[in-house]
Structure 1
Amino acid sequence: MRYGMTSMEDALRDFMSKSRLKPRLTEVRIQENWEQLMGKTISRYTESIQLIDSKLHITTTVAPLKQELSYSKDRIIKLVNEMLGETVVREVVIR
């Protein structure tokens, strides 16, 4: 590369890190990989997943699943952050 030039990949990465779209795109990545991270059963009974201010909000109407997820909060945070490659989720809220 010539002096003062950046690759398209670097330019897009820089744009995304500064963009207001980043939190929403991160949320979509979590939703797309949820079944792979948590398994088919948990994924099937999870109604919604939202990322709001570093808090991952997980909604389900199945009481035993709510309890299992609340016991697994630390594991969920670790799995999601590892999948993303950065510390994005700091807390899990089960509804």
Structure 2
Amino acid sequence: MNSVNNTVNPVIQESDLGRHEMLPSAGVGMHVAPEWESLRGAFVEVRRDGGHYRSGIVDDAMPDGSAVWLAGDVERTRKYLGKADGFVIWVESTPGASYD
């Protein structure tokens, strides 16, 4: 008989967006970034509707933190991502990191 893993990956709730919290569904050592204006140059994981959307380097950010642009790469073009569109950005937990 095979053993089944019944572990459920948590889904990001709207209440989680304002907190720096590490959840097992994201990459190890990552947390939700509630303030996007300081992410320029950071490698991030973008999630939407609880699932992975895209990963990449933040090329630019709106001064008010309402949106970022992920840099293009060989396979994809530069991409605008707005908070109002339901995107959630996860960033590595690096003490004292500054990405600007």
What TM-score does the superposition give when structure 1 sets the normalisation length?
0.27
Higher helix share: 1
Q: Which has the higher contact order (CA 8 A, sep 6+)?
A: 2
Larger Rg, first or second structure (1 or 2): 1
